[in-house]
């Protein structure tokens, strides 16, 4: 893991990783809610760059459209519709310490598992017949979506429709 040669994708990986971790840490530590959403948008854009590095161009564009566009704007609207008074809430040191210990121990566990796992070196650069590595990624995903995954795709459309109708009827003003 630590003795790879320094090349273009490696440098890009570290730049995107720095953007994402910096954005996430800022999201946790900033004071104002709108600043938190903007730093989250930086994380989403960094993830899109990471997807391009991983030969997933379609997922990268979907990430930019849905997350950096729609979800960020939705959160900004949610902030706008609710009130955020600047009054200092009482801090909860025990609660926050427990949460930090839990998150850190989970990370330790995951990191140990990742380092212990013996991952075979295959598949890089489209070896082993990755269909999307050399050909058109979006075309391959579209073909797969409309052949092998047609039933989940249709179910997901129904889910989206139900979710948006439900969101409208939930947020609509109650009739007096």
130 binds another protein (CB under 8 A): yes
CB-based contact 137:55 (threshold 8 Å): yes
- When binding is defined by CB under 8 A, the residue of 96, 136, 150, 154 that contacts another protein is 96
- Least Cβ distance, residue 134 to another protein (angstroms): 12
- Least Cβ distance, residue 42 to another protein (angstroms): 12
Tally the C-alpha atoms within 13 A of residue 123's C-alpha that lie toward its C-beta: 8
- Least Cβ distance, residue 175 to another protein (angstroms): 13
7 binds another protein (CB under 8 A): no
15 binds another protein (CB under 8 A): no
Tell me the helix, strand and coil percentages in the chain, rounded to 5.
75, 0, 25
136 binds another protein (CB under 8 A): no
Q: Is the dihedral of CA 25, 30, 32, 38 positive or negative?
A: negative
Contact letters (x/-) for another protein, 20-59, by CB under 8 A?
xx--xx-xx----x--xx--x--xx--x--xx--xxx-xx
Secondary structure of 79-112 in HEC code, one letter for each residue: HHHCCCCCCCCCCCHHHHHHHHHHHHHHHHHHHH
- When binding is defined by CB under 8 A, the residue of 11, 15, 78, 154 that contacts another protein is 78
């Amino acid at each position: 893991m630590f003795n790879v040669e320094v090349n273009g994708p490696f440098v890009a990986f570290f730049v995107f990783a720095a953007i994402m971790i910096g954005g996430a840490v800022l999201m946790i530590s900033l004071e104002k809610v709108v600043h938190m959403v903007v730093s989250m948008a930086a994380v989403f854009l960094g993830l899109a760059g990471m997807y391009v590095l991983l030969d997933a161009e379609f997922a990268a564009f979907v990430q930019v459209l849905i997350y950096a566009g729609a979800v960020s704007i939705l959160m900004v609207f949610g902030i706008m519709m609710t009130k955020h008074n600047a009054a200092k809430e009482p801090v909860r040191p025990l609660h926050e310490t427990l949460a930090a210990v839990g998150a850190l121990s989970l990370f330790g566990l995951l990191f140990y598992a990742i380092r212990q796992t013996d991952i075979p070196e295959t598949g890089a650069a489209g070896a082993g017949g990755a269909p999307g590595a050399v050909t058109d990624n979006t075309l391959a995903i579209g073909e797969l979506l409309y052949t092998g995954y047609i039933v989940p795709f249709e179910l997901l459309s129904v889910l989206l429709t139900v979710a948006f109708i439900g969101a409208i009827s939930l947020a609509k003003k109650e009739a007096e």
